[in-house]
Amino acid sequence: MRHYTRAQDVDTDSLSHVDLKYLEFTDHSTGSENDPVILLHGLLGQKRNFASLGNSLALQLNKKRRIFAVDLRNHGDNTHDWRNEMSYSHMAQDVLGFMDTIGIQRAVLIGHSMGGKVAKSLALSNPDRISGLVILDIAPVTYTENDPSWNAVQGIIQTLKEVDLTPGGKTKRDVDMELRKSVEDPALRAFVLTNLEVISLEDKSQQLRWKINIDAVADQLHKIASFDVQSIDIGSDEGLGVQYLGDTFLIKGGASSFVKGSHMPVISRHFPNYMLTTVKGSGHWVHAESPDATLALMKKYLER
Q: Which residues are catalytically annotated?
A: 113, 215, 284
Q: How far is it between the farthest Cα atoms of the chain? A: 59
DSSP-derived pairing of the beta strands 130-136 and 248-253: parallel
What residues form DSSP beta bridges with 248? 133, 274
DSSP-derived pairing of the beta strands 274-279 and 248-253: parallel
Q: Are residues 23 and 3 in contact, defined by beta-carbon separation less than 8 angstroms?
A: yes
Report the phi/psi class of residue 10: left, alpha or beta, with left for phi > 0 and alpha for psi in -120 to 50.
Answer: beta
* CA–CA dist 119, 108 (Å, integer): 9
Distances (CA, A) of 301 to 103, 250, 260: 24, 11, 22
Decide: residue 153, CB within 10 A, 0-12 exposed, 13-18 middle, 19+ buried: buried
Amino acid at 103: G
Q: How many helices (H) and strands (E) does the chain have?
A: 11, 10
* CA–CA dist 282, 273 (Å, integer): 24
Distances (CA, A) of 66 to 32, 33, 136: 8, 10, 20
* CA–CA dist 252, 275 (Å, integer): 11
Q: Are residues 229 and 123 in contact, defined by beta-carbon separation less than 8 angstroms?
A: no
CB hemisphere CA count around 65 (13 angstroms): 26
